[in-house]
Amino acid sequence: MAFFNKQFLSFFKELEQNNSKDWFDANRNIYETEIKKPFKSLVESLILKLQKDLPEINPNASKSIFRINRDIRFSKNKAPYKTHVAAVFARKGTKDMDYPGFYIHLGANELMAGGGSYMLSKEQLAKVRQEIYYNPEIFKEILNAKSFKSVYSEILGDKNKVLPSDYKEFAQEQPLIANKSFYYMAKLPTKLLLEDNFDETLYKQYFKPAYGFNKFLLTALEE
């Protein structure tokens, strides 16, 4: 049985055109029954699957799901709602942006899955860079693994323009050492959203292939 139906897509398409509290309130029942409830079920299922391999993943789905309300306090865009739902699978749920976890983002026009470490402290970044520097071949092997590279074509993240002197020459060999964050993202075919076993597809085809990369990051952070 599928988690979502076509109302998921139509809700977000209409929200894109009518992003207001009045419209959302008038369609809140659809949001609660066709978006919020099944999305939580999907997140709960993914948590259970991930915990078989990664027991430290936060078991609370509610703490893993981002609010649909946008923070508009400092934004020129005053639209009150996001036009997608999203969740992160990590130790502390949505408050854990450094732990190398996983992420899903589902909207009418864009489905994405990915993971990695998005926000690292200065100390954490130093640890990851050191791990890359001392284990360049292992890092390269993980990046070039067919199961990973066929899903995630590149590692994303802002880069430092100036590197510590020890890493300047090494950066010519491995440019990723200049990254300030290390994450990956793949766009999914929209049709997957409405298919049976969407949770199994996410787990097997998008999360498991990244276990090696996440483990490399975690090893660095825990040293």
Number of neighbours of residue 129 by Cβ within 10 angstroms:
26
- Domain boundaries 6-221, CATH class: alpha beta
Under DSSP, is residue 202 helix (H, G, I), strand (E, B) or coil?
A: helix
- Would you give per-residue pLDDT tens digits along the chain (223 residues)? 799 999 999 999 999 999 999 999 999 999 999 999 999 999 999 999 999 999 999 999 999 999 999 988 888 889 999 999 999 999 988 887 789 999 999 999 999 999 999 999 999 999 999 999 999 999 999 999 999 999 999 999 999 999 989 899 999 999 999 999 999 999 999 999 999 999 999 999 999 999 999 999 999 999 8
Choose among 95, 90, 92, 140: nearest CA to 115: 90
Taking the CA atoms of 60, 64, 70 and 75 in sequence, report the sign of the dihedral they define.
positive
- Looking at residue 92, its pLDDT comes to 87
Residue spans per domain, the chain: 6-221
> Residue 28 and residue 33: Cα distance in Å, rounded?
9
